[in-house]
Structure 1
Amino acid sequence: MSHVVSQHAPAPPTEAVISDFRGLHGRLGDAVESVLHGKRAVIDLVLVALFAGGHVLLEDVPGTGKTTLARALARALGGESRRVQFTPDLLPADVTGTAVFNPGDGRISFRQGPVFTNIMLADEINRAAAKTQSALLEVMEERTVTVDGTTHRVPEPMLVVATQNPIDLDGTYRLPEAQLDRFLIRIAIGYPDVEHELAILRPGSRAGHTDEIEPVTRPGQIVEFSRHLAGVHVAEPILRYAHAIGATARADERLRLGASTRGLRALVRCAQVFAATHGRNFVMPADIQFLAGPVLTHRLILTREAAMAGDTPASVLADIVGGVEVPQPGR
């Protein structure tokens, strides 16, 4: 007979905690939006990932503000940030760190790589070879780096904000499925609308001037709120609804790879944070529906036949979400 291991749920956040969180969430969003005009919805999704303890993949053509968003977020958080330009000759040790021999005393010491920071901007991550991309797997999942049998912990929070150009551009590599699964959310920024793009073009615009952003919080406060928001209530029907979406995706004949358990867990965790941004200490089906795209799409892989038929992971997921029965109140 199998048994489900019971776990004690975190205490639900109080109304005061939810209110304080919404205030901080708004200030962070305002700070980033001051240099990235017209992309508040994208910024809010990145903040959901931050407070959910996950990582973000920003995918779009060059010049749409991917790097600006990452740098602005790092400035607003008030923590340490490092930027790594991913290139084909970048080595794994250049990212995680390496053991160094000191000839003076004959000792071997560990030299930390750029992952030992609060915000790491992995610029154009898909220009590096797969072995270098894979060097991030441990630190993204476990927040540790193991070198020569010794494990080193990275600071908290530790957020990887990776930018990626579309796969069909020259000089890029496809991210391995295991790497994609480590990203909590994937977002396409897109071009701004006419009015916001004109505002960016006008002389004197602050767009892109990330150095002018003043910190509005500290890393410890992010960690504290993240722990509180883990207590946002997720009712059993909501959990089963999220699971049904994942199970349906795995059974869909158009998909060669469906949603992983890690992906479904990420969906629920993001829904907790998203609910709190709307002043609620409980998750609704609408939260799951809204976040399914950014959280799950990049984890799905089409069959060759589906791709040739013109399907996309986004269209398949939309069909799946639309076909799963939505739990009703009181049921």
Structure 2
Amino acid sequence: MIESILERFAQGEDLTKEDLCTLLRVPVGSRDYYNLLAEANGYSRKAFEGKGLLFGQIGLDIQPCRINCKFCSLAADFLKGCTPFIRDLDDTVQLAKQLADAGVRDVFLMTTAEFSQERYLDYGRAVRAVLPDDVRLVANVGDFDEAYALRLRDAGFTGVYHICRLGEGVDTGASVETRVRTLDAVKAAGLELYYCVEPIGPEHTDEQLADEMLRPRQYPVGVMAVMKRTAVPGTPLAPRGEISAARLAQICAAATLAMRPKRAMCVHEPDELCLMAGANQLYAECGANPRDTEAETSKGRGFSVEDARAMLRKAEWS
């Protein structure tokens, strides 16, 4: 059923939305399912020379976020009555240095949309000052314009994690148009864009998934990712549940073939099956986490550098 699609991929042809939908419709556990995973795994093992990558993310604040995503533990509706918390600058710098010393190649600073843009630049400059030159610094913040993108670059950021989420404008308080303007600003400023198909829930169609796999082709994306939605208790979308690990691996494999990422393919949260379906990159996390109700995610859902490294080794990524 999918032999011709995989053959065209192997010959260097870009897959179409129709191709991706066909791959996503393959029944889990079928011969085609395993052929899809094998093709993505083979691509990544060769493209990334068998090497796994560790990234680290520090969540800087816990405060009611106006974007109010229906799956997020930091949404304004979820955090009613919360006393805002912002991580100390010196503590953030120390954490970033520890992550780099532990072998993390890219350090992400994540905030809610409420975090001051000016203050964020201060954090970026301070963290950049302690990171080795070969460790990337990545922004994960609310929407912004091209002028601010240039300021991020000048502060020492090398890239930005930003996406158009599944259900944008319905399950979130942001519009697709606003997200795309930020994506365009990242590109115009010469920053690397980190893209992800997320947060994937059982209700999302193959067509929706394929659209977000193809969107980043027009941007400077070296790292592609997929992420399932975590059913955070008490959030509006929690009753919809979560997709299975097997389904996530299928989506990971299709996204790998869709984008042919040049530097890394990520699955988030860390998942062993996806490491045999194209993924070679995992995150260690500390601080706030939109998928966790613990104030310090390293004590909750967040993986440590050691945990992520061990999982990569289990899948024989060096």
TM-score class normalised by the smaller sequence: under 0.3
TM-score normalized with structure 1 length: 0.25
Structure label with greater radius of gyration: 1
Structure 1 or 2: more helix by fraction: 1
